[in-house]
């Protein structure tokens, strides 16, 4: 689970921002909290909802988490290439280092993992195991253009050879690459803490931007019977009019008009036996799945929906005939199935994009009230003011982000305002009581 995020000198974050999912005092909606099992353990909220005006910095929080995830698990750069970071540009003198630290709960342990970096080098990288009162170093790595130093802390190596090899790999890690990623590439699988943190970034953390699609549904429906059944059940639950979602085979030479033939040929030529690939149309309204079987034969598939007519007969629709909202909902349904089973963490930017307010509220309500035993977590940004409801959320689950006059974003919780539980916080927000809303100039100043 995500506990806290800290970040500075990146995107719209100048001085350090903090976004926290540590619950405040109070017993309201106790099922929204994953409680600590030990005295010094850290309790965590299952949900966070973030409000702010356009360009206030909501999406930048999601981007920062996505960036450190990619730095931890992917080779973002080749040697001598730049790290894809955008420093805060509104300082008098642009430069220095960006910093991201993320605190997470993995099983029974809590970790703080962070990086300090610019476009050319990760100058510092660290991993600590933490609780309410203490922190113990797992490793800390510092780099310059010419030297790298590494210190290990709370690690029990089996022997001196394992420790020496870990030191060798850490010191030899490229300056624009994380040691966390290098450990996995060099098969250092005997440091359990590093394995746990890497696995959390790689398998537990799921980031959705407005244009993110759930790829490979064609194959998942075949492999996961529970997902297939859940898809039909949820589509009916949310009253979309769709009665079923079905995978159907198509002739890739004659039936796929949405993709250039050259693109299809390139994909097929590069597809190895037993492998699969999914590709979307340019407008992202259709996607097609390809697979080459062990005999070398190519098959292509697409998803279709069915609706019932007046006679109760199924009528087939292509995905590009469905509304943006229905297709967005279809992307979210696997998330709800996943959250019911696993301790996954989903960050969704603009959850309300293309969605009716009732559908948006229905997704969050289902997570909070039907998946009460889930150890998963759902963190979203939104403009949907109908979600500002203290019958639905705790005060410490609602966050705001606002830019100051110098263009720097900051985060703060509704808990800071201490509103009474019976107050209409939606009305208070729209009236500007909590900030984080757009303020327009006088329309007469436009001189139209």
What are the tokens at 306?
Answer: 């069915």
Contact, 363 vs 264, CB < 8 A?
no
Residue 410: pLDDT above 70? yes
- pLDDT, one tens digit per residue, over 236-250 is 888 888 988 988 999
| pLDDT band for position 114 (cuts 50, 70, 90) | very high
Residue 156: pLDDT above 90? no
- pLDDT, one tens digit per residue, over 116-145 is 999 999 999 999 999 999 999 999 999 998
Write down the pLDDT at residue 444: 62
How many CB atoms sit inside 10 A of residue 79's CB?
Answer: 8
Q: Where are the domains of the chain?
A: 1-210+349-448, 217-325
Global confidence as pTM: 0.91
| pLDDT band for position 443 (cuts 50, 70, 90) | low
What are the tokens at 132?
Answer: 């309410």
Handedness of CA 384, 386, 391, 395 (dihedral sign): positive
> 1-210+349-448 has which fold?
Rossmann fold (3.40.50)
Write down the pLDDT at residue 213: 79
Write down the pLDDT at residue 364: 94
Non-local (6+) Cβ contacts of 387 within 8 A are 49, 360, 361, 364, 393
Write down the pLDDT at residue 308: 92
Write down the pLDDT at residue 238: 86
């Amino acid at each position: 689970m995500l506990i806290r995020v800290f970040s500075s000198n990146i995107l719209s974050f100048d001085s350090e921002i903090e976004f926290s999912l540590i619950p405040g005092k109070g017993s309201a909606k106790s099922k929204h909290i994953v409680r600590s099992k030990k005295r010094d353990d850290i309790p965590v909220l299952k949900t966070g909802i973030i409000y702010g005006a356009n360009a206030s910095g909501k999406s930048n929080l999601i981007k920062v988490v996505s960036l450190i995830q990619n730095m931890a698990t992917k080779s973002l750069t080749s040697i001598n290439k730049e790290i894809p970071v955008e420093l805060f540009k509104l300082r008098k003198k642009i430069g220095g280092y960006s910093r991201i630290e993320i605190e997470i709960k993995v099983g029974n342990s809590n970790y703080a993992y962070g990086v300090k970096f610019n476009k050319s080098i990760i100058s510092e990288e660290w991993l600590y195991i933490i609780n309410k009162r203490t922190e113990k170093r797992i490793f800390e790595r510092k780099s310059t253009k010419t030297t790298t130093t590494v210190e290990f802390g709370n690690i029990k190596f089996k022997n001196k050879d394992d420790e020496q090899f870990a030191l060798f790999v850490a010191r030899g890690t490229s300056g624009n690459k994380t040691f966390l990623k290098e450990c996995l590439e060099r098969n250092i699988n005997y440091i359990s803490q590093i394995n746990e943190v890497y696995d959390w970034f790689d398998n537990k953390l799921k980031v959705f931007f407005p244009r993110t699609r759930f790829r490979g549904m064609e194959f998942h429906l075949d492999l996961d019977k529970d997902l297939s059944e859940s898809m039909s059940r949820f589509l009916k639950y949310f009253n979309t009019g769709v009665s079923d979602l079905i995978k159907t085979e198509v002739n890739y030479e004659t039936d796929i008009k949405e993709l250039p033939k050259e693109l299809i040929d390139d994909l097929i030529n590069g597809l190895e036996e037993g492998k699969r690939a999914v590709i979307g149309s340019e407008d992202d309204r259709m996607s097609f799945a390809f697979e080459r079987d062990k005999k070398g034969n190519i098959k292509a598939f697409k998803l279709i929906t069915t609706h019932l007519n007046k006679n109760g007969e199924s009528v087939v629709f292509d995905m590009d005939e469905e509304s943006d909202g229905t297709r967005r909902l279809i992307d979210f349904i696997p998330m709800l199935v996943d959250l019911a089973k696993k301790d996954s963490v989903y960050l969704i930017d603009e959850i309300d994009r293309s969605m009716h307010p009732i559908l948006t509220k229905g997704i969050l309500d289902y997570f909070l009230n039907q998946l009460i035993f889930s150890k998963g977590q759902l963190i979203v940004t939104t403009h949907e003011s109908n979600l500002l409801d203290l019958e639905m959320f705790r005060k410490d689950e609602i966050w705001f982000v606002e830019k100051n006059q110098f263009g720097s974003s900051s985060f703060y919780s509704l808990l800071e305002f201490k509103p009474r539980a019976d107050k209409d916080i939606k009305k208070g927000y729209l009236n500007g009581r909590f900030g984080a809303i757009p303020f327009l100039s006088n329309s007469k100043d436009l001189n139209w």
